[in-house]
């Protein structure tokens, strides 16, 4: 394990939280100063997080930037953080998305702006904590505490039906996580009192216990991802959340579910994962196909993107759990490809969904409606914006050259080695995704200018342009040259496969 010479991860966790407290203390009276502090904190956090990339040793699967301090000594709970190739990109994605949200919502929020920004900053720190926690209880603390700022974000700044949506969101995710708490307590008991997550790996648990643990983890993470049939909170939460909230929700919170599967389910209970892989594959394919069809019928742009998120996250879970079927068929080759595909898909979806929600936000700020039917011919009035919108829509549909293609293609390719029909069902996304996204683009962007409101639209300003251009660059970079990302992840994923194989 590689110790850190100075506490970079702690900085990434606590700097934004502290910044949030400062912004809250400044209050709404000193709004402008608070805003600058908030943006500054987010920018600084992002800059520091780049240190993770430069300082990362990509040839090893060991945890890096590790910090270990005793926290609750009587219970053997430690403040133990560190990242490997799986979590490091997600940490950077978190700080990156928060910075974008800060820029995108600059001066957009007039109700309680201080609290709004503070919520985002605190979320940033908490989510970095989720990805970097190596102590199960620390992980749980961050995992759960994350709900509180999000609950307030949706409930205070959300749309008309926000209260219903936020309570649904909270209760859904809470029921998932408390089951995980019981699982973690049980694991700690089995692991001889240690809460170190890596100590949970390779425990010799009977299959019966493994299956219960797997189901507990499944409930927690499937709700977060979300997988069919526990996805129903997501469209509500997304539609009601303010733009920034939707971005964080889609770009990062959903990834926490995926991350949980690779950090807990696969390595801790490999035998149960193998036994129940049919269930996971089935649920993933239902998400891809059925939710794809559902997305097509949506009248609300945010809802459409929310459903498309569920469909795309189906690829992540498919990639993670198809490995056992691949191993059956080929004896091992292709497993790594599946895991990498799932991981790349997570990062890529982080960029694309953020971009899509921000685009809807740009339109919503001007028109105050998300109904597709209220738009038409926007491209005539907003040509620059239309360019970006189409690019992101293409990426969402999985066009080669964009990041959306890479992950999906890798997963489909890997799925072929497991079973033709898995791959076939997954590949329908290329048609369905194209159908629902491009149909939306056509109805919103093209055609005649639909009404007077649209005729008055103005193109993106410099602030919006910056945000969209940065995301476009990210989408294209990952689409054309994903090698550096894969290089970072590969040793850790190989190591994961070894742990899984050893546990079978």
Partner 1 sequence: MTTADAFETPDLMLALPEIWLLAMACLVLVVDLFSKDRDHTPAFWLTQFALVSTALITINVQWGVDATTFSGTYVADAFGTILKVAALGLGFLGFAYSRDYMRDRGLLTGEFYILSLFAILGMLVTISAHNLLTLYLGVELMSLCFYALVAMDRDSPRASEAAMKYFVLGALASGMLLYGMSMLYGTTGSLDLATIREAAATLEDNRILFLFGLVFMVVGVAFKFGAVPFHMWVPDVYHGAPTPVTLMIATASKVAAVGLFLRLIGEGLEPLIADWQQMIALLAVLSLLVGNTVALVQTNIKRMLAYSTFNHMGFIFMGLLAGAPGGYGAAVFYAVTYAMTVAAAFGIVLLLSRKNFEADQLTDFRGLNERSPLYAFIMLLLMISLTGIPGTVGFYAKWLVLKATVEAGFVWLAVLAVVGAVVGAFYYLRIVRLMYFDKPEGVGPQPTGSGGFRAVLTVNGLAVLALGLFPGALVAICMAAFAP
Q: Binding residues for partner 1, per CB under 8 A?
A: 71-75, 137, 140-142, 144-145, 147-148, 151-152, 155-156, 162-163, 166-167, 170-171, 174-175, 178-179, 181-182, 185-186, 188-189
Q: Which is nearer to partner 1, 142 or 228 (CB)?
A: 142
Q: How many CA atoms lie within 13 A of 390 on its CB side?
A: 12
Q: How far is the CB of 260 from partner 1 (least distance, A)?
A: 16
Tell me how far, at minimum, the Cβ of 324 lies from partner 1, in Å. Answer: 27
- CB distance 126 to 253 below 8 Å: no
How far apart are CB 275 and partner 1 at their closest, in Å? 20
CB of 213 to partner 1, least distance (A): 11
Q: CA gyration radius for the chain?
A: 22
Task: Give start and end residues of each alpha helix (H) in 162-275.
Answer: 162-190, 197-200, 207-224, 233-240, 243-248, 254-260, 266-268, 270-275
Helix (H, G, I), strand (E, B) or coil at 3: strand
**CA dist., res. 245 & res. 357, Å (int):** 10
* Nearest distance from C-beta of residue 112 to partner 1, angstroms: 9
What is the DSSP track for 103-152? Answer: HHTTTT--SSHHHHHHHHHHHHHHHHHHHHB-BHHHHHHHHHHTHHHHHH
Closest CB 153 distance from partner 1, rounded Å: 11
Report the residue number, 111 or 373, with the smaller CB distance to partner 1: 111
SS3 content of the chain, % helix, strand, coil (to 5): 75, 5, 20
Q: How far is the C-alpha of 180 from the C-alpha of 225, rounded, in Å?
A: 15
What's the min distance (Å) between Cβ of 121 and partner 1? 16
Q: Are 404 and 333 in contact (CB under 8 A)?
A: no
Residue 420 C-beta: closest distance to partner 1, Å:
40
Residue 38 or 386: the one with the smaller Cβ distance to partner 1 is 38
Q: Which residues pair with 64 in a beta bridge?
A: 83
Q: Name the residue nearer to partner 1 (CB basis): 112 or 463.
A: 112
Indicate the DSSP class of residue 391.
H
DSSP at 196: B
| Interatomic CA distance for residues 179 and 167, integer angstroms | 19
- CB burial readout 231-246, b (16+ within 10 A) else e: bebbbbbbbbbbbbbb
Look-up of token digits 């939460």: 237
Nearer CB in complex with partner 1: 180/362: 180
Two tokens at 336?
A: 């790594």
**CA atoms of 203 and 183, how far apart (whole Å):** 14
Nearer to partner 1, 143 or 320 (CB): 143
How many whole angstroms separate alpha carbon 357 and alpha carbon 350? 11
Nearer to partner 1, 47 or 163 (CB): 163
State the nearest-atom distance from the C-beta of 169 to partner 1, in Å.
11
**C-beta closer to partner 1: residue 138 or 250:** 138
According to DSSP, the residues that pair with 69 across neighbouring strands are 79
Nearer to partner 1, 200 or 321 (CB): 200
For 209, left (φ over 0), alpha (ψ -120 to 50), or beta?
alpha
| Residue 17 beta carbon to partner 1: minimum distance, rounded to whole angstroms | 11
Q: How far is the CB of 383 from partner 1 (least distance, A)?
A: 40
Contact (Cβ atoms closer than 8 angstroms) between residue 498 and residue 200:
no
Could you identify the residue written with the tokens 């969402």?
Answer: 396
Nearer to partner 1, 148 or 296 (CB): 148
Short-list 9, 130, 125, CA closest to 67: 9
Rounded to 5°, angle at Cα 245 from 92 and 22? 75
- Residue 161 C-beta: closest distance to partner 1, Å: 12
Residue placing its CB nearer to partner 1 in the complex, 186 or 446: 186
- Report d(CA 408, CA 348) in Å as an integer: 10
**Which residue, 68 or 438, is less far from partner 1 as judged by CB?**
68
């Amino acid at each position: 394990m590689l110790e850190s010479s100075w506490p970079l991860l702690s900085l990434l966790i606590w700097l934004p939280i502290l910044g949030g407290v400062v912004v809250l203390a400044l209050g709404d009276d000193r709004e402008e100063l608070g805003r600058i502090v908030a943006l500054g904190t987010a920018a600084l956090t992002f800059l520091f997080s780049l240190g993770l990339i430069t300082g990362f040793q990509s040839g090893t699967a060991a945890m890096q930037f590790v910090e270990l301090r005793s926290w609750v000594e009587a219970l053997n709970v430690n403040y133990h953080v560190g990242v490997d190739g799986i979590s490091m990109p997600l940490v950077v994605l978190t700080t990156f998305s928060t910075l974008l949200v800060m820029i995108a919502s600059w001066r957009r929020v007039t109700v309680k702006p201080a609290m709004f920004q503070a919520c985002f900053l605190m979320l940033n720190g908490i989510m970095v904590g989720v990805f970097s926690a190596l102590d199960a209880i620390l992980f749980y603390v961050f995992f759960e505490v994350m709900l509180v700022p999000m609950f307030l974000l949706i409930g205070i700044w959300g749309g008309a039906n926000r209260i219903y949506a936020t309570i649904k969101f909270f209760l859904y995710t809470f029921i998932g996580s408390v089951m995980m708490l019981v699982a973690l307590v049980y694991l700690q008991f089995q692991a001889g009192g240690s809460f170190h997550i890596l100590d949970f790996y390779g425990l010799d648990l009977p299959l019966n216990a493994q299956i219960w643990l797997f189901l507990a983890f499944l409930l927690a993470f499937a709700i977060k991802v979300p997988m069919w049939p526990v996805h129903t909170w997501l469209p509500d939460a997304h539609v009601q959340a303010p733009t920034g909230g939707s971005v964080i929700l889609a770009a990062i919170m959903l990834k926490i579910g995926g991350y949980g599967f690779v950090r807990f389910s696969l390595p801790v209970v490999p035998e149960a994962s193998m036994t129940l892989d049919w269930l996971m594959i089935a649920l993933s394919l239902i998400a891809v196909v059925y939710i794809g069809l559902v997305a097509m019928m949506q009248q609300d742009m945010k809802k459409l993107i929310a459903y498309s998120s569920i469909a795309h996250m189906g690829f992540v879970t498919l990639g993670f759990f198809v490995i056992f079927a691949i191993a059956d068929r080929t004896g091992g080759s292709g497993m790594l490809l599946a895991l990498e595909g799932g991981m790349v898909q997570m990062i890529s979806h982080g960029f694309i969904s953020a971009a899509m929600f921000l685009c809807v936000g740009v339109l919503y700020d001007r028109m105050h409606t998300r109904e597709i039917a209220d738009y038409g011919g926007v491209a005539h009035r907003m040509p620059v914006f239309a360019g970006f919108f189409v690019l992101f829509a293409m990426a969402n549909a999985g066009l080669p050259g964009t990041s959306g293609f890479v992950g999906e293609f890798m997963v489909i390719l890997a799925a072929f080695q497991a079973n033709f029909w898995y791959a076939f069902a997954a590949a329908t996304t290329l048609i369905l995704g194209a159908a629902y996204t491009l149909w939306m683009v056509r109805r919103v962007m093209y055609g005649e200018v639909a009404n007077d409101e649209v005729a008055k639209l103005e193109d993106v300003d410099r602030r919006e342009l910056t945000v969209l251009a940065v995301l476009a660059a990210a989408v294209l970079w990952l689409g054309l040259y994903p090698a550096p990302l894969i290089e970072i992840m590969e040793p850790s994923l190989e190591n994961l496969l070894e742990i899984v194989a050893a546990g079978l």
